[in-house]
Amino acid sequence: MSDRYAMSDRDAPPLQPQPHSMMTQHEPPTILNPMSREEIDEMGEQMVGRWESAPTFACVGGCIPINVEVKFNVYAPANDGAPIVGEMESTGDCCFCCPFHQVGLRQWNPENMINTEKTLGPPSRELTFVQVDRARDAEGTLVVTQRGTGVEEGRPMTVTEEWRFSRVRDATMTWKQHTPNRVAVEFRKVSKAPAPLSEQFLTKMQVLRQDL
């Protein structure tokens, strides 16, 4: 794959991240069983587009019911050396009557796919994701597992993501939160091109970007 996924101007996020980005400047962690350059480009190319979750019901803490639906766009790097950018919007309700709205900004390093996420909620969180495994199944599907660690509303948070990219361009992802609560959400890539998110998302994202 060449030209870093060939993003056109119309595919660019409405508000580009600043050059300092959210990527950590510390020494990157050691990645066991790292992806090859070809696999990194395959993952990066197939991530670009619009992703949506199925409506998801969970019982947080064993007693608090929540409904959640998530949409996110992934954009190709704006230029050489720029991160892959993701923008997320999550909506739902808690206890069937208390609505919530969350937006998030994510940036992947296109050299190793280490990435960071920051969201503005409630709930608000900050996570860093690192690849912990990768494999190909019998059909040639690339399966990449990433582990995220950080904080949500001041509490330790851990997440596992399993991304699956098939040879026929079908892409899915399973997001499993382990702490502080257990929640699983299934995603599917529904379009090769990003799609607009809500006006409420745009307003809240302005605030989130000011805090970066």
Q: What is the pLDDT of residues 150-173, one digit of tens each?
A: 999 999 999 999 999 998 889 999
Instruction: Please state, as a whole number, how many other Cβ atoms lie within 10 Å of the Cβ of residue 109.
Output: 17
What are the backbone angles phi and psi of residue 198, rounded to the nearest 5°?
Answer: -75, 165
Instruction: Please state, as a whole number, how many other Cβ atoms lie within 10 Å of the Cβ of residue 160.
Output: 17
* DSSP strand pairing (84-94 vs 49-53): unpaired
How does pLDDT run across 175-209, given as a tens digit for each residue?
A: 999 999 999 999 999 999 999 999 999 999 999 98
Which pTM was predicted? 0.86
How does pLDDT run across 25-83, given as a tens digit for each residue?
A: 445 566 777 899 999 999 999 999 999 998 898 877 665 778 999 999 999 999 888 99
Contacts of 16 (CB under 8 A, 6+ apart): 78, 85
- DSSP, collapsed to helix, strand or coil, labels residue 205 as helix
Q: Is domain 31-194 classified as CATH 3.30.70?
A: no
pLDDT at residue 134 greater than cutoff 50: yes
* Dihedral sign of CA atoms 7, 10, 16, 22 in order: negative
> How far, in Å, CA of 45 to CA of 39, rounded?
10
Domain ranges for the chain: 31-194
